[in-house]
Structure 1
């Protein structure tokens, strides 16, 4: 019988997470898919992450078993993920060697990790730069070669307590683990890994099939929470999003259910800008649907929170529109208040233009660096091409909307035409057009209070 295949367990978050220190949103699935997994598998080592383990029993039992028995553990601490840091500590306590630590290069290291070698990589947020991926993969591959067959301590526990003897799993415990793995059946999607359910759900979102995606996220939450009393923020956020978008059994009910879900993950105090942004969008939609001005007030507060946390274009554009709504509502009880709202909207549009001018050259330079990959007829090349087109489209329409709000219509039309010529799905153009229509309707009523006076384009 040949030698059994070595196994690597990857410790990291999954899905899109926010780094609360920097406010940056990172797609950790892309880190795993493009940076870590292909390198490990190229070494002939089986690679698995917690959400890829089949949920046929207690995930806690399986996770602890992996931390003890895996030939190699790679821990990605990006976004200062508390679970990943905890699991790394367990690994360091259980095994003196074959543990590698990596993180996105803007991670603010917790103090107690300063003495640990952390290999960094650059993350674009929603994508991974191909040139950077190749650099990091080469370095990670060399490190795997260096540690996989050597018994040299990389655990600070065994480095400082050098007489400590690593534990060994007893046969009886092994039998109990095997028994646990074979007794509990999953309530739905039997035998399906959490990662596959999430992937299927995200693909359904791309296809705008929000109702089916909602059902899959409900299943994912059941699996993720089997042994965890705390709800997973990412999965709850995605369930809230798909609940809102599915509009089932009706729009108002779905919006209220979405808010209930967000409140279950500490909406009132969270510093997760994605959760707060979604709350703003839901409250804005409730106001637009005639559910009362209290929802407009709430939408404004949520967009302010997320805008000042992330300092990004999406929240800026929505914040400015919400100020225009307020100037047209009973919340602005006097002309002075209406003017104040419009001044804030104008300042926000000016800031959006600054952010567009900041972001555009960054995207163009990255796109130029990836020119060879973009021209290659590959799946990865097509995905990166879509990423850059999406970024350029949204920057262009954000510019267009800001200029429209400022009454600079020639520049508005230039940027609108630029966006139209960038390949994009039809829903993106419809979303932009709908936003412009709402903005035009609001400014037509109160734009005369702006300085200079806003007049609808002919």
Structure 2
């Protein structure tokens, strides 16, 4: 018989996560799919992440078994993921060698890791730069070659406690694993791995099929939480999003159900800006649909939290609109309060223009650097081009909306036309025009309190 295939276990989060230090969102699935997995498999090594393990038994048992027995472990610490850091510590305690540590290059490490070699890569946020991917993959491939067959310690535990003897797994463990399995479910009957369910759900979101995506995220949560007392934040957030968007059995009840889901992941105290901004969007929608001014007050607080955490354009745009809503509501009980709300909206629009001016040249420079890759006529190059088009579109419409709110209509039209000429899905333009419509209604009512007075364009 030939030598059995070596196995690599990848320790990292999955889905889109927020790095709280930098405020950036990273799509870790793309890091895995485009940076790590193809390199490992090119070396003839089987590659698996926790969400790809079929959940026929205890995932905790399987995870610990992988950390002990995998021929290679690659740990991605991007976004300072606490589970990844914990699992890396376990691996370093269990195995003296064949562990590789990687991270996105803007990660601020939460503790001293200077004695550990960490390979860095650059992440665009929700896309991967093709040239950067090739650079990182080449380096990772060389490191795999260097460590996979060498018994040289890369664990600080075994480096500093050099007389320590690594543990060995008991042969009876396989029987233990079988005992915790549901006797009515065999491995080949467990269906799709968690990673496949999540990817299918995300694909359905892209297709605007929120009802089916919701069902898949419900299934994913059941699988992910089989052995965890705490719900998975990312999956719960996505279930809340698809519940709200599916609007079943009706919009109002779906909005309240979405809020209940967010509250189950500590909405009142979380510092996850994605969860907080989604709560703001839901509360704003409840107010817009006549559910009461208390929802407007809550929406304002959520958008303030997420805006000041991320300092980004999306939350700023929604925050400014919410201030306009407040100026027209019963919450603004005096002329001075109305003026204050509109002053805060104007300050927010001015800040948005600053953020647009900051982000635009960065996107253009990256796109220019990727010119060769963008012309490669591959699936990856198309994904990257879609990413750049999306970034440019949103910057343009964010500029347009800010200028509209400030009453600078010539600049509004200029950026509106620029956005229109950038390739984009129909729903993005509809979202922009709907937002402008709401803003126009609010400013037509309260714009005379602004200095200078806001007047609708002729």
Question: Normalized against structure 1, the TM-score is what?
Answer: 0.98
**Superimposed CA distance per residue, residues 14-35 of structure 1 (whole angstroms, 9 cap, x where no aligned partner):** 0001112222111100110111
**Superimposed CA distance per residue, residues 379-409 of structure 1 (whole angstroms, 9 cap, x where no aligned partner):** 1111111111111110000000000001111
Equivalent position SS for 2:172: helix
CA apart distance, 1:253: 0.4
Equivalent position SS for 1:451: coil
Equivalent position SS for 2:168: coil
Q: Give the match for residue 231 of structure 2.
A: 231
**Superimposed CA distance per residue, residues 152-192 of structure 1 (whole angstroms, 9 cap, x where no aligned partner):** 001111111111111111221233224545736399x9321
Q: Alignment RMSD, CA only?
A: 1.3
Q: Give the match for residue 121 of structure 2.
A: 121
How far apart are the structure 2 equivalents of 1:390 and 1:5?
Answer: 41
**8 Å Cα contact 1:353-1:402 kept in structure 2:** yes
Matches within 5 A, 1:144-163: 144-163=144-163
Q: Give the match for residue 37 of structure 2.
A: 37
How far apart are the structure 2 equivalents of 1:298 and 1:204?
Answer: 30
**8 Å Cα contact 2:16-2:29 kept in structure 1:** yes
How far apart are the structure 2 equivalents of 1:244 and 1:109?
Answer: 35
**8 Å Cα contact 1:12-1:75 kept in structure 2:** yes
CA apart distance, 1:113: 2.5
Matches within 5 A, 1:198-213: 198-213=198-213
Equivalent position SS for 1:164: coil
Matches within 5 A, 1:347-358: 347-358=347-358
Moved more, 269-278 or 164-173: 164-173
| Change in CA separation of 1:186 and 1:219 when aligned onto 2, cut-off 3 Å | farther
Equivalent position SS for 1:183: coil
Matches within 5 A, 1:126-275: 126-181=126-181, 183=183, 185=185, 190-275=190-275
**Superimposed CA distance per residue, residues 248-276 of structure 1 (whole angstroms, 9 cap, x where no aligned partner):** 11111000000000011111111100000
How far apart are the structure 1 equivalents of 2:185 and 2:172?
Answer: 22
**Superimposed CA distance per residue, residues 342-369 of structure 1 (whole angstroms, 9 cap, x where no aligned partner):** 0000000000000001101111111111
**Superimposed CA distance per residue, residues 181-229 of structure 1 (whole angstroms, 9 cap, x where no aligned partner):** 5736399x93210000000000110011111100000000000000011
How far apart are the structure 1 equivalents of 2:378 and 2:96?
Answer: 41
Q: Give the match for residue 295 of structure 2.
A: 295
- Unmatched runs of 5 consecutive residues or more in structure 2: none
CA apart distance, 1:119: 1.0
Q: Give the match for residue 108 of structure 1.
A: 108
**Superimposed CA distance per residue, residues 39-85 of structure 1 (whole angstroms, 9 cap, x where no aligned partner):** 11111111110001111111111111111110000000111111111
Equivalent position SS for 1:153: coil
How far apart are the structure 1 equivalents of 2:83 and 2:284?
Answer: 34
Q: Give the match for residue 15 of structure 2.
A: 15
Equivalent position SS for 1:428: helix
Q: Give the match for residue 387 of structure 1.
A: 387
How far apart are the structure 2 equivalents of 1:180 and 1:192?
Answer: 20
* Matching of residue 446 in structure 1 with residue 446 in structure 2: yes
How far apart are the structure 1 equivalents of 2:342 and 2:111?
Answer: 45
**8 Å Cα contact 2:57-2:178 kept in structure 1:** no
Q: Give the match for residue 277 of structure 2.
A: 277
Q: Give the match for residue 333 of structure 1.
A: 333
* Matching of residue 24 in structure 1 with residue 24 in structure 2: yes
How far apart are the structure 2 equivalents of 1:109 and 1:186?
Answer: 41
Question: Normalized against structure 2, the TM-score is what?
Answer: 0.98
**8 Å Cα contact 1:320-1:349 kept in structure 2:** yes
- Unmatched runs of 5 consecutive residues or more in structure 1: none
How far apart are the structure 1 equivalents of 2:183 and 2:103?
Answer: 37
How far apart are the structure 2 equivalents of 1:343 and 1:56?
Answer: 57
**8 Å Cα contact 1:403-1:409 kept in structure 2:** yes
